[in-house]
């Protein structure tokens, strides 16, 4: 995880959180179908908000 964090610029906590989501999806019971997983940062703006520096 440390190497992934260094390459992507993400924090170790963020990398672990994504790994936890992937583990949950992979280890879900056979009767559970996970079609899609969407992960957004806590401070993520919506898709319609654009910030531009002047």
- The pLDDT value recorded for residue 32 is 92
| Contact by Cβ (8 Å): 19, 13 | no
Q: Which tokens go with 17?
A: 């959180």
Compute the distance between CA of residue 35 and CA of residue 44 in angstroms, rounded to an integer.
23
- The pLDDT value recorded for residue 28 is 92
- The pLDDT value recorded for residue 1 is 54
Q: Where are the domains of the chain?
A: 1-54
- pLDDT for 40 beyond 60: yes
pTM: 0.55
Mean pLDDT within 2-14: 63
């Amino acid at each position: 995880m440390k190497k992934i964090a260094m390459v992507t610029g993400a924090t170790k906590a963020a990398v672990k959180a994504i790994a936890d989501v992937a583990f949950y999806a992979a280890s879900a019971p056979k009767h559970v179908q996970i079609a899609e997983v969407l992960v957004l940062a806590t401070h993520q703006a919506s898709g319609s908000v654009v910030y531009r520096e002047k």
